[in-house]
Amino acid sequence: MVSAASLSADFVTWFHQVGRDYPWRRTRDPYAILVSEIMLQQTQISTVLDRGYYARWLERYPDFATLARAPESEVLKTWEGLGYYRRARNLQKLAQVIQSEHGGVFPTEPAAIRALPGIGPYTAGAIASFAFGLAEPIVDGNVARVLSRLDNDATPVDSAVGSKRLWERATELVQATEDPRALNSALMELGQTVCKPRQPLCAECPVKKHCRATEPESLPVKGNRTEITEVTERVVFVQTGQGILLEQETGSRRTGLWKLPALPATGEAALPPVLMKTSYGITRYKVTLWVHEAPLESLAWPESHQFIPLAALAKTAMPSPYRKALDKLLQHAAFRLEG
């Protein structure tokens, strides 16, 4: 078997030749790197970059101190469109811990990084290697695919044994190089561009001479398949001279955000007229969203509901599915008024 040092060297050489230029690769600032890592969880690079989320965030919150003292509602609004809003809250909580417990300075020791709230093994390894050049491993979906194929390992990557093997292999490789930052970047880059889930470009692989995979598309193996659950959600659209009626969410991953209010309980036969129907996905759910009319005189709205003036809607943090539905409804209403 080829030595870890030789394999790592091939990865590093390849990355220095073809590695893509991302803004977080031009810095050693742990804060900027942390922001990129949190944003890229569950979100594609094209969304984070091409739609300007990364640049806008760093412009508004350039450091831990600025983020730590920002109003949560403003933070959620800045994050709007990226989804999984718990990430934004956790990022702000971490910034507050850095300010209050570390004097505003991000720790450099791996153990101290791992001890920070909301920092898992992958994020800890990413910051340690990308910001500080430490020989700390990373394993995400791309890296797991590359390593599983490289070793032709059919052990389910989501099993305890499979996860342990992947982290041990990643550790072996990163400790065998003098450039951990490039090695970890190469593993991720290869999974994104060459060692793809379907139709991998094996002929272009810089480590193909070392790869033992006989059927690369069959790897990695996952033991647990996520089943998609169909969900029906019914909300109401109410517009008055005061603005649009919205409901502030509590007790969920979207706590603090505003949405179209849930339709009060009613029998199927008594459902009010439908204004629009759309759908969206979130984690393991496929949601069909029905927007209904709501007669004002028959409904008493709780304190969690407020009329938001039209002029304030743009600054109101709102999950993307509701923002898109509301924009369409308002456009339609404006069209009818003009007509």
Strand-pair partners of 195: none
Q: What is the DSSP string of 277-309?
A: EEEEEETTEEEEEEEEE--GGG----TTEEEEP
Quote the CA–CA distance of 13 and 290 in Å, as a whole number: 53
Pair of tokens at residue 53:
């989320």
Mark out the alpha helices in 151-261 (DSSP H runs). Answer: 160-174, 180-193
Sign of the four-CA dihedral 285, 286, 289, 290: negative
- In order of 23, 178, 276, the CA distances from 108 in angstroms are 21, 18, 52
Quote the CA–CA distance of 94 and 81 in Å, as a whole number: 21
Give 82's DSSP letter: S
pLDDT given for residue 226 in this prediction: 77
Pair of tokens at residue 301:
């709205």
Q: Exposed, middle or buried: residue 228 (CB in 10 Å: 0-12, 13-18, 19+)?
A: exposed
Phi, psi of 98 (to 5 degrees): -60, -40
- In order of 2, 65, 183, 196, the CA distances from 6 in angstroms are 7, 42, 12, 23
pLDDT given for residue 338 in this prediction: 38
Q: How far apart are the two ends of the chain, measured CA to CA in Å? A: 74
pLDDT given for residue 264 in this prediction: 82
Tens digit of pLDDT per residue, the chain (339 long)?
689 999 999 999 999 999 999 999 999 999 999 999 999 998 999 999 999 999 999 999 999 999 999 999 999 999 999 989 999 999 999 999 999 999 999 999 999 999 999 999 999 999 999 999 999 999 999 999 999 999 999 999 999 999 999 999 999 999 999 999 999 999 999 999 999 999 999 999 999 999 999 999 999 999 877 789 999 999 999 998 999 999 998 876 778 899 999 988 766 667 889 999 999 988 889 999 999 997 655 567 888 899 999 999 999 999 999 999 999 999 876 544 333
Pair of tokens at residue 121:
């093994």
Domain architecture of the chain: domains with CATH? 4-218 (1.10.340.30), 229-338 (3.90.79.10)
**Residue 37 annotated as catalytic:** yes
State how far Cα 148 lies from the chain centre: 24
Q: Is residue 24 left, alpha or beta, with left meaning phi > 0 and alpha meaning psi from -120 to 50? A: alpha
Q: What is the DSSP string of 111-130?
A: HHHHTSTT--HHHHHHHHHH
Mark out the alpha helices in 153-241 (DSSP H runs). Answer: 160-174, 180-193
Pair of tokens at residue 67:
């983020």
pLDDT given for residue 187 in this prediction: 98
pLDDT given for residue 335 in this prediction: 40
Interior/surface letters 187-222, b for 16+ CB within 10 angstroms, e for the rest: bbbbbbebbeeeebeeeebbbeebbebeebeebbee
Amino acid at 105: V
Give 44's DSSP letter: -
Stated as kind and residue range, the H or E segment containing 306 is strand 305-308
User: Quick one: which of 49, 62, 61, 76 has its CA closest to 259?
Assistant: 76
- Rg (C-alpha) for the chain, rounded Å, is 24
